[in-house]
Chain A
Amino acid sequence: MNVIEARELAKSFWIPSAKRETIREHVIHFYRRRSFERLDVLRSVSLDVRAGETLGIMGRNGSGKSTLLKILCGIYRADRGTLIVRSPVTPILELGLGWNPELDGVDNVLLIGTAMGLSLRQARRSLDEILAFAGLERFAGMPLKHYSSGMAARLAYSVAFKAVRDVLVLDEVFAVGDQEFRARCEARYRELSAQGHTVVLVSHEPRIVSAFCTRAVLLEGGTIVKEGSGEDVVRDYAERMAAAS
């Protein structure tokens, strides 16, 4: 069974020749015409994600990977196309950034945890486990503003791995923290995969895609240019990168 079915998804952003973000700018420049350049981030993407598989997405910067993930997670809306998502999705996107810096680790875990789908009771019950996974038990009561970026990212991934729903969407997840933390993330990923979770994974790292993905797609210029096994797509990606350099 397919848990995600995307057909001809398209997404564009309109880049204005002059930015107008305030009422004042709109009023002052009322009579001045603006031109807009259309940036087609996704042109036509169709893909199926089957239950229990790990689908890798590769592509250069600007190829539309992050936009596609945000659409699959329901954070962005596609301009055109159809998307059917049959199971709840847990997004793990750019988690190292953000958080509330004034709050301590515990409150941030409860905040992000409930936003990611844990009930408040589950989030409270899992606190020790989340902090232990991140290796941050000693810093639980410290405001986030005193955490290093690596510590904040570790905490974010720990929450996300605990809040996992049926489908997990990961953006460069294994690029965070030190080697020990990455190994822990990989072990947790294998555990989730063995439990039957479906995973959509974006990575630039050939080793990750080859090792973890049952299938993969290569995005270029907002369309899928290659679909196949993890190894096939990695090879194609490497050849295109070599040709471009």
Chain B
Amino acid sequence: MRAATAPAGQRVDVPGMLWTLIRTDFKSRYHGTLGGFVWALLKPALMFVVLMSVFSLIFASTPNYRLNLIVGLFLWEFFVEATKTGLISLHAKAFLLTKARFPPWVLVVASLSNAVITLAVFALTFLAYLVAIGQAPGALEVALSLLYLVLFFLVVTGFSLGSSVLFLRYRDLNQVWEVITQAGFFIAPIIYPLDIIPERYHIYLYLWPPTPVIQFSRAVLVDGGIPTLKAHLLLVAVAAVVFTAGAALFRAYSPSAAEHL
């Protein structure tokens, strides 16, 4: 006989729990002080100022390159930070998973909050800078860059859902992922322009999710162009595949997550 369980509706205030997890994660990371809170918000803005100052000296003759470099670095940083914390999110909250019944995806989504806050502060700082130097993007460009961020978030969420349940079975998955992201930094055209790679290889580079997000964001915010519809469809397809695969893994393995803790 197969196991058939029908637990009654467990009433959990999901938004309330999500908010509490995000707030307490943020608080433990910055020790709950006002200075810590200010620092969390200032850090990405200060990083932007530092990188702009350094790159302005090194790449004085190529202003777009330094802006593209900064866009690439911040989007990459979001990807690495979010996937790193998402991967260990279930394990990190084992004390909740083994004692209460609630939708476990809440833990995974909440773990991405810090990376999202950092990226949001950077995006606002970057937009303010573009306005200040007279390169303010139009409404369509801003909307498109927001769309790219949403799709990037879907990619990161899908990866985190899938990897968080696999991490409970393979405890060195985070180390393997660290190596992959080290290599991935050079697969994504962050420090080099994509043009130096022969065009026939571009399609492969675009399959690495950070590549299209970085390239498209640069196109609409810095270079003043809009990628083709086909390119957008490719990005949507990559995000949909990663999210669906991650969600399917999570759906299959999360019901037994507590047994591996």
List A residues at the B interface (Cβ < 8 Å).
8-10, 13, 21-24, 26, 70-71, 73-89, 91, 93-95, 97-100, 102-104, 107, 110-112, 114-121, 123, 165-166
Contact between A89 and B95, CB atoms less than 8 A apart: no
- Closest chain-B Cβ to A174's Cβ sits at a distance in Å of 18
Q: List 8 interface pairs A-B (beta carbons < 8 Å), by A numbering.
A: A73-B101, A78-B5, A91-B100, A93-B98, A100-B28, A103-B24, A111-B24, A115-B100
- Closest chain-A Cβ to B170's Cβ sits at a distance in Å of 5
> CB of B99 within 8 A of chain A?
yes
List residues of chain A with CB within 8 A of the CB of B172. Answer: 22-24
Q: A22-B172, A121-B16 are in contact. Are A76 and B21 (CB under 8 A)?
A: no
Contact between B3 and A26, CB atoms less than 8 A apart: no
- Closest chain-A Cβ to B94's Cβ sits at a distance in Å of 8
- Closest chain-B Cβ to A4's Cβ sits at a distance in Å of 9
- Closest chain-A Cβ to B134's Cβ sits at a distance in Å of 45
Residue among B6, B20, B172, B256 facing the most chain A CB atoms (10 A cut-off): B20
Residue-wise interface mask of B (5-40) relative to A, using a CB-CB cutoff of 8 A (1 in contact, 0 not): 111111111011101110110011000100000000
Query: In the complex, A61→B178 CA distance in Å?
Result: 42
| Minimum-distance CB pairs A-B, first 3 | A120-B16, A98-B95, A119-B13
> CB of B176 within 8 A of chain A?
yes
- Closest chain-A Cβ to B71's Cβ sits at a distance in Å of 33
Contact between A83 and B4, CB atoms less than 8 A apart: yes
Contacting residue for B27 out of A22, A81, A103, A117, CB 8 A:
A103
Query: In the complex, A119→B255 CA distance in Å?
Result: 23
Find the A residue at minimum CB distance from B106. Answer: A115
Find the A residue at minimum CB distance from B259. Answer: A76
Contacting residue for B4 out of A82, A88, A94, A114, CB 8 A:
A82
Contacting residue for A116 out of B100, B170, B173, B259, CB 8 A:
B100
Contact between B8 and A21, CB atoms less than 8 A apart: no
> CB of B153 within 8 A of chain A?
no
Contact between A74 and B5, CB atoms less than 8 A apart: yes
Query: In the complex, A82→B96 CA distance in Å?
Result: 26
List residues of chain B with CB within 8 A of the CB of A85. Answer: 5-8
Q: A84-B6, A100-B28, A110-B20 are in contact. Are A117 and B11 (CB under 8 A)?
A: yes
- Closest chain-A Cβ to B197's Cβ sits at a distance in Å of 30
> CB of B1 within 8 A of chain A?
yes
> CB of B230 within 8 A of chain A?
no
> CB of B205 within 8 A of chain A?
no
Query: In the complex, A93→B101 CA distance in Å?
Result: 11
- Closest chain-A Cβ to B28's Cβ sits at a distance in Å of 4
List residues of chain B with CB within 8 A of the CB of A166. Answer: 8
Q: A23-B172, A112-B100 are in contact. Are A100 and B95 (CB under 8 A)?
A: yes
> CB of B171 within 8 A of chain A?
yes
Query: In the complex, A84→B12 CA distance in Å?
Result: 19
- Closest chain-A Cβ to B25's Cβ sits at a distance in Å of 9
Contact between A86 and B8, CB atoms less than 8 A apart: yes
* Chain B 87-123 residues near chain A, CB threshold 8 A: 94-102
List residues of chain A with CB within 8 A of the CB of B200. Answer: none
Find the A residue at minimum CB distance from B102. Answer: A115
List residues of chain A with CB within 8 A of the CB of B20. Answer: 107, 110-111, 114, 120, 123
* Chain B 158-210 residues near chain A, CB threshold 8 A: 169-173, 176
Contact between A98 and B98, CB atoms less than 8 A apart: yes
Q: A23-B173, A85-B7, A88-B8 are in contact. Are A115 and B258 (CB under 8 A)?
A: no
Query: In the complex, A94→B261 CA distance in Å?
Result: 14
- Closest chain-A Cβ to B260's Cβ sits at a distance in Å of 9
Residue-wise interface mask of B (197-238) relative to A, using a CB-CB cutoff of 8 A (1 in contact, 0 not): 000000000000000000000000000000000000000000
Find the B residue at minimum CB distance from A70. Answer: B258
Find the A residue at minimum CB distance from B255. Answer: A77
Query: In the complex, A100→B25 CA distance in Å?
Result: 10
Contacting residue for B170 out of A26, A87, A93, A165, CB 8 A:
A26
Contact between B101 and A95, CB atoms less than 8 A apart: no
Query: In the complex, A35→B258 CA distance in Å?
Result: 24
Contact between A117 and B28, CB atoms less than 8 A apart: no
Contact between B170 and A115, CB atoms less than 8 A apart: no
List residues of chain B with CB within 8 A of the CB of A81. Answer: 1, 3-4
Q: A77-B255, A114-B17, A119-B16 are in contact. Are A97 and B11 (CB under 8 A)?
A: no
